[in-house]
Amino acid sequence: MMTGTLARAFAVLGVASLALTACSSSSESTEETAASESADATTSAPAEAEVVSTDCEPPQATPGAAPDTAPLKIGTLLPETGTLAFLGPPEVAGVQVAINEVNEAGGVLDQPVGLVTGDSGDTTTDTANATVDRQLAEGVDVIIGAASSAVSLKVIDKIASAGVVQISPANTSDQFVCYPDKGMYFRTAPTDVLQAQALAQLITGDGAQRVAIMALNDPYGTGLARNTASDLEAAGIASDQITTIIYDPNAQSFNAEVDQVKEFNPDAVAVIGFEETAKILTRMHEVGIGPSDGMLTYGTDGNMGNALGEGMGPGLLAGMKGTTPLTDVGPEFEQRLLAFDPALVDFNYAGESYDAVMIAALAAEQAKSTAGVDIASNINAVTADGEKCTTFVQCRDLIRAGTDIDYDGVTGQLAFGPAGEPSVGSYGSLLFGPDNKLTTEDYIVVEG
């Protein structure tokens, strides 16, 4: 991992405009309104309907009776339009760079990998379903996406039932940990069960003892809020010293929710949201509880980016801290992305997208089959408990020599657990300066 000046320089480049990093879901709310859920300002958990269990034995895929040796075909379900469209270019670049490198090395099972691109849209449209229908008809074996947890939940059953692998580079909602996905769903982004630990460490490390959490009403917001509250309690903060307020991200005003926060009189506020965070923080400043007013204020991957600072008054974000999934992917990988798309200005989730392709390709090599169920049956195994390797060629050659491999990607150690997701999460500890610009102060690594 980078330290000092290099880390800060990379953070500005690699995490620029991460605000709105709806890596976990789109900004649309569920049908329930925030008003009824946030009526009790002392509740420390979202509404009962939002609670999901992560204590389970996740389903595992069953290999097919006979291998499929047709060329591997990968589809993308990434945001080309909609509220998350800013995430599309780096994710698309990550996928394409990976496929190019695999094909330059001879392909999978000595055949070139095919690509069928597709738009995920967001939850206000049926774009994702239409894309998945088209890609299934074209015979894809693996679908990379969606970026939004809410969008993935709209198509996961259809993809799994078709025997096709789904790998999201950006879903972080804990709803996927125990989801009945037939063992066909995976993700290269760490679950928010881990991000909650990192956020709680950051908050308690600053000495906070009374915490208000504001979270948007969707699977990302409610799940991360619930886990953060639980981890704050585990760190020693009493439950009656934590309040969680769930809000509708499409509301015209957040005055009532911010007023609830002020009435609670916290010494720290965590805002788990997307683009509406600018309105929330502006209102917090108006009532004297913004970060520039001295309030310990925290964000997460959905809003911790330079785009948030560009939409705020000068200096209003000074001192705000937060977390986002972040590892040292290095300038060399960034240059590989730029060689494909020179117009890239953001690099968020490009590494996770790249790793998703590599994992699928290596799992197919190990299975000696491109059938979705065969790939799924090998994905967890190629990321853990074997001889470490970091490139497609290196890992493929080990597989062909009969060696059990442990692929460590450009995003670092993956070590997938039974739920098909990283068991280790690396998060940048980010800080807004007086110029409303982000720097990376440190990294927080947590394990599930």
Q: What is the mean pLDDT of each run of 10 residues along the chain (448 residues)?
A: 32 37 40 32 36 82 96 98 86 98 98 98 94 98 95 97 97 90 96 93 97 93 93 98 96 97 98 93 97 97 85 93 83 95 86 96 98 98 96 98 96 92 89 93 86
pLDDT (0 to 100) of residue 275? 85
Residue among 381, 275, 438, 370 at smallest CA distance from 64 = 370
Overall CATH class of domain 191-325+424-445: alpha beta
Confidence (pLDDT) at 123: 86
- By DSSP bridging, strand 438-447 and strand 424-432 are antiparallel
What distance in Å separates the CA atoms of residue 12 and residue 16, rounded to the nearest whole number?
Answer: 5
The answer to whether the Cα torsion of 136, 393, 399, 422 is positive or negative is negative
Q: What tokens appear for 389 in the block?
A: 């390797």
For residue 220, the model assigns a pLDDT of: 86
Q: What pTM did the predictor assign?
A: 0.77
Q: Give the pLDDT confidence score for residue 135 in this predicted structure.
A: 98
* Other beta carbons less than 10 A from residue 371's beta carbon: 23
Distance of alpha carbon 354 from alpha carbon 356, whole angstroms:
5
Residues 6+ apart with CB under 8 A from 27: 20, 83, 122, 216, 218, 249, 250, 273, 274, 275, 276
pLDDT at 348: 78
- Cis peptide bond upstream of 146, omega within 30: yes
CA distance 282 to 287: 9
Rounded Cα distance, 317 and 229, in Å: 23
Res 34: pLDDT: 32
The fourth-level CATH superfamily of domain 71-188+348-416 is Response regulator (3.40.50.2300)
Report d(CA 252, CA 274) in Å as an integer.
Answer: 14
pLDDT for residue 52: 66
Q: What residue ranges of the chain are covered by domains with CATH 3.40.50.2300?
A: 71-188+348-416, 191-325+424-445
Q: Which residues pair with 429 in a beta bridge?
A: 323, 442
Q: How many CB atoms lie within 10 A of CB 161?
A: 12
